[in-house]
Amino acid sequence: RRLSSLSEGESRLVRLLRDKFPRASSIKVVDISGGCGAMYEIHIESEEFRDKRTVQQHQMVNQALRDEIQHMHGLRIFTSAPK
Please give the full DSSP string across 1-58, using - where no structure is assigned.
--GGG--HHHHHHHHHHHHH-TTEEEEEEEE-SSSSSSEEEEEEEEGGGTT--HHHHH
The answer to whether residue 2 sits within a structural domain is no
> What pLDDT does 2 receive?
47
The string of pLDDT tens digits covering residues 26-71 is 999 999 998 788 999 999 999 999 999 999 999 999 999 999 999 8
What range defines the domain where residue 61 resides? 8-80
CA distances from 61 to 2, 22, 54, 69 (A): 22, 13, 11, 10
Q: How confident is the model at residue 79 (pLDDT cuts 50, 70, 90)?
A: very high
Which is more confidently placed, 25 or 71?
A: 25
The answer to whether residue 20 sits within a structural domain is yes
Q: In CATH, what number is assigned to the domain containing residue 29? A: 3.30.300.90
Q: How many domains does the chain have?
A: 1
Entry pTM: 0.87
> What pLDDT does 48 receive?
96
Which is more confidently placed, 16 or 1?
A: 16
The answer to whether residue 54 sits within a structural domain is yes
